[in-house]
Amino acid sequence: MNLMGENIVTEDGEFIINMGPQHPSTHGVLHLKIWLDGETIKRVQPHLGYIHRSIEKMSENLSYRNFIFATSRMDYLSAHINNEACALCVEKGLQIEATPRAQAIRILMGELTRLSSHQLWWGCTGLDLGAVTPFFYAFREREAIMEIMEETCGARLTQNYMVPGGVMYDIHPNFQKRVKDVMKQVKDNLHEYYDILTGNVIFENRTKGVGYLSAEDAISYGCSGPTARASGVSCDIRKWFPYDGYEKVQFEEILDTGGDCYARYMVRMREMSQSVSIIEQLIDNIPEGDFQAKTKNVIKLPKGEFYQRVETARGELGVYIVSDGAASPYRIKYRSPNFSNLSALDHMARGSKIGDLVAIMATIDLVIPDIDR
Amino acid sequence: MSKEELKASLTALLPTATFDETGEFLNVIVASGDMLPLMQTLRTNKEFDFNYLFCLTCIDWKDHLMMVYHLMSKELKHILVVKAKIADTVNPEIETVSGIWKTAIFHEREVYDLFGVKFLNHPDMRRLFLDEDWPGWPLRKNYVDENMIEI
Amino acid sequence: MRSLLEISFSSLANYIHAGLISAMGDGMAALVTEMVIAGVCLILFLVPLCFFLGYMERKVAGFMQLRLGPNRVGPKGSLQIVADTVKLLFKEGLTPDSSDKFLFNLAPVIVVVTSMLVMAPIAFAKDLQIWDMSIGVLYVTSISSIAVIGILMAGWSSYNKYSLLGAMRSGAQIVSYELSIGLSIISIVILTGSLKMSDIVMSQANGWWIFKGHIPVIISFVIFVIASTAEINRAPFDLTEAEQELTAGFHTEYSGMKFAMFLLSEYINLFVVSAIAATLFLGGWMPFHIGSWQAFNHIMDFIPSSIWFLGKTFFIIFIIMQFRWTFPRLRVDQLLTLEWKYLLPISMVNILLVTLMAIMGWHF
């Protein structure tokens, strides 16, 4: 293990330890500088920028059709939802709406993505806490979903399926049947997730009371998604500012008041069931029609600013496009959910132990490329 | 509050503010010196109660920089966009809002890193993504890098 | 076939002893040669054993995780571990520049030697024991305590913050859990009245202690299995090697042959701890008899005693292996809380119960 950075022993007897950027349990290249007093954490300082690719600057030279696909690489576990946000923002500028069929397909793909992202999160949470087996059980269902994506969209991870106006191709003829089979498999196996990890005494001891985040702090730090909902903050964009037909779908916003790691864990587990129920509502009711609304070949947004918010698997993603009438955006800003969730890490981890820090990072569910963009 | 009520209250609060109602949200444009008192009022006053800052960024308009703050109130459910115009593009400076919303700590470091705007009284004014000794401010329109290739 | 397996090991030992004395005369030479033969036999037994344990671990892990485990190298993947060991032997053995060279090289030796030493009093089959000393049980607990020194040496001499943290945690863990192990072992010693391993096994001729001693001995057995899993640094108590937190703990800086020795000692410890549990609680090499069912007992006697012993040992090894792939890891303060606030008080109360049971004759 290469100890990077200074090894400063401060006067109080603290010492500094580096965690990352190559570390099995920071989910991506995250470099944390931890001030330790024995086993207790005094301060955590993240160092970012190891995967900064300047997507925002790059997008200023791409056309309005192309810049969408750079966002698949941001939060790659919710690639569909990122693309959907960009496509919706462009549609807002053009003042068109996606066709009903496209909207239903977008919701289905978004919920499948959310489900597979939460499954990977569950497997990795078990892995970080030392239980190796949940990882394989999580990937069993995730593989099935990835194969469905591959059949329809052509890729497993960075699907590049959303375009302004709708989706790029129509769904594969096998799509509905396969999704129904997978949903049956997921529903049968979801109780296994609870059996293996949730009810385990050791797991509960490692997550209950750890990493408390109050509701006011969650709002002040800008946390969103399950991280904030576990502290009682209602922030599901699908309910607050519905898009793409989410107002017509029945689902619940999962809130919990615990504010600790266990609450964040339970919120995500219950969100998985909600995703399954949304998919089941729509899978037989996809409207017929066009899968793409007509747009010009070269899209030019009128002068102005457009902001679109969506709910990714990790929280609220905001796409802010400033246009001056050209064929490329003048300025794009991605308000990424992981960026704000990470800023609360220092607050949550002070006073706990290193093992707790691992548990907190596992339940916040960070994806680092989304932070660095 | 609706857009008209917000506009009326803000005009009463700060007569020099201008408004832009062409977009989805109400935009209020102020000078950079007036920004911090306005923000404090927006946070503490119960009529506004903007407790959720969900986007903080900067736009480079070549002759001036525009700081953009997207604010929302979780209880009263209204959204406001505050824009602060920084006229000085050589040494841009503005007050920090990280004392009001803690999410601004990271966001302002990012703006400093990419645009060069110094935030006065910020608890930790350092670059966020790039190295400490990186020359220039990459997201500015006049940024030149010898490694950039013209395609 | 059966006569082959039931060779009287004592007659074999006597034969070799007589042969050596006639060749070298009755003195130090013969004694030393006998010791060397015993040592070589032990190592020849241990190395394939560790290969088998490593293979078993990976296959058990695979099947518990919905996958197959190694199945390419050799028939059904059995040569995978051999390949891994050969790879380890060929690796460069790096010694960090600023480490304490003497301690750094000594640590794995201490750890491996203490694990092998504990094999001495274990009875593998009828009459097959390396050294049936009168303090067998005491010897086992005391020698296994020396391994802590090896681990602390490894962590300290690596000159690495992570290794030191891992070694400190490991030292605290092992020292704490030895108490529970000792108390569990004492409960059987109370019932048997002797520290000698062969006496303990013979006292189970009319039934294993776990059945004869019913509730208190079952409690002792459970505590013994839990505490010994912690003692050998296996999951869920493996935070000294927690990759997710400290990147391999006290043996971070070791590579090549020395690392192989740490791995070897871990598997030998696993075998030893299961063997002790099988001997003390499950009857050692005693077959499974039920009261006066003559025909059943006769059939059970048919199976050779070494098979009984190995079967029981591997049953406990299998249970301990399953722990690793089921439970998440405990945090260091939860681990010590478990020992000092739960296991130790329960063990102490249990000792009182066992003593009461032994005095009043309430066991079978």
pLDDT tens-digit map of A233-256: 998 989 888 988 898 888 888 898
- pLDDT range class, residue B62, cuts 50, 70, 90: confident
C247: contact with A, CB 8 A cutoff: yes
Query: In this structure, what is the dihedral angle of CA atoms C207, C209, C210, C214, given to the nearest 10 degrees?
Result: 100
Query: Is the C-alpha dihedral spanning A127, A132, A133, A137 positive or negative?
Result: positive
H helices present in A284-353, as ranges: 337-343, 345-349
In which band, very low, low, confident or very high, does the pLDDT at A6 lie, cut at 50, 70 and 90?
A: very low
Please indicate whether, in this complex, the C-beta atoms of B129 and A56 are within 8 angstroms of each other: no
Residues of A in contact with B133 (CB under 8 A): none
Taking the alpha carbons at both ends of chain C, their separation in whole angstroms is 36
Residues of C in contact with A130 (CB under 8 A): 235-236, 238-239, 242, 244, 327-329
Residue C332 and residue C166: Cα distance in Å, rounded?
10
Contact of C2 with chain A, judged by CB distance below 8 Å, is answered with: no
Please answer whether residues A228 and A216 qualify as being in contact, where contact means their C-beta atoms are separated by less than 8 angstroms: no
Name which of B106, B55, B119, B103 is nearest B83 in CA terms. B55
* Chain A nearest CA to C46, separation (Å): 28
| Range B11-14 contact pairs with CB under 8 angstroms and sequence separation of 24 or more | B13/B38, B13/B41, B14/B38
Residues 259 to 278 of A: which have CB under 8 A from any B CB?
none
Nearest CA-CA partner of C162 in B63, B44, A17: A17
* Phi, psi of B99, deg, nearest 5: -75, -20
Closest CA relative to residue C140, chosen from C223, C204, C197? C197
For residue A306, list chain B residues with Cβ-Cβ distance below 8 A.
23-24
| Preceding peptide of C345 cis, ω within 30° | no
How many other CB atoms sit within 10 Å of the CB of residue C12? 12
Determine the residue of chain B that is closest to A342 in CA distance.
Answer: B106
Tokens in use for C4?
């082959």
Mutate to test the interface with C, among A26, A30, A128, A360 (most CBs of C within 10 A): A128
How much is the pLDDT for A82?
92
CB contact under 8 A, B103 and A222: yes
Mind telling me how many Å the CA of B9 is from chain A's nearest CA?
24
Give tens-digit pLDDT for A252-277. 888 988 888 999 999 999 999 999 99
Contact by Cβ (8 Å): C233, C170: yes
**C100 to chain A, minimum CA–CA distance in Å?**
18
- CA-nearest residue to A24 within chain C is C244
Q: Answer yes or no: do A131 and C61 touch at CB < 8 A.
A: no
Q: Does residue A18 form part of some domain? A: no
How do residues A32-91 score in pLDDT, each as one tens digit?
A: 888 888 778 888 888 888 888 889 988 888 898 888 888 888 888 989 999 999 999 999
pLDDT reported for residue A5: 38
Paired tokens of A339: 């960026």
A26: in domain:
no
CA distance B110 to chain A (A): 10
Among 3.40.630.10, 3.40.50.300, 3.30.460.80, 2.60.40.350, name the CATH number for the domain at B3-91.
3.30.460.80
CB–CB of A1 and C61 under 8 A? no
What sign results for the dihedral spanned by CA atoms C338, C341, C343, C344? positive
Q: Give per-10-residue mean pLDDT for chain C (364 aa).
A: 57 76 74 84 88 90 87 84 88 81 88 89 81 87 88 85 78 89 90 87 84 86 92 79 60 82 89 91 82 77 83 92 86 85 92 89 75
Range of the domain at A94: 51-372
A206 interaction partners in chain C (CB closer than 8 Å): 328-331, 334
Residue A10, pLDDT score = 60
Which residues, other chains included, contact A201 with Cβ-Cβ below 8 Å and sequence gap of 6+?
A: none
C160 touches chain A (CB under 8 A): yes
Closest CA to C348 of C230, C216, C229: C216
For residue B126, pLDDT beyond 90: no
DSSP bridge partners of A316? A311
Residues 164-223 of chain C whose Cβ lies under 8 A from any Cβ of chain A: none
Q: Model confidence over A283-329: pLDDT tens digits? A: 888 888 888 888 888 888 898 899 999 999 999 999 999 998 888 89
Binding partners of B (≥3 Cβ pairs within 8 A)? A
CA C69 to chain CA centroid, Å, is 24
CATH of the domain at A366: 1.10.645.10
A372 CB neighbours in chain B (<8 A) are: 129
| pLDDT tier for residue A4 given thresholds of 50, 70 and 90 | very low
ipTM for this model? 0.91
User: Which residues, other chains included, contact A219 with Cβ-Cβ below 8 Å and sequence gap of 6+?
Assistant: A228, A233, B51, B52, B74
Q: Is A340 on the interface with B (CB under 8 A)?
A: yes
- Structural domain total, chain A: 1
Domain residue extents for chain B: 3-91
**Residue A7 has what pLDDT?**
46
Residues C174, B26: Cα–Cα separation, whole Å: 65
Beta bridge partners of residue B81, listed in sequence order? B27, B70
In the prediction, which pLDDT does C221 show?
Answer: 92
In terms of residues, how long is chain C?
364
Nearest CA among B70, B99, B109, B54 for reference residue A340? B54
Chain B: closest CA distance from residue A255 (Å): 15
Mutation choice for B interface testing from A229, A331, A350, A373 by most B CBs within 10 A:
A331
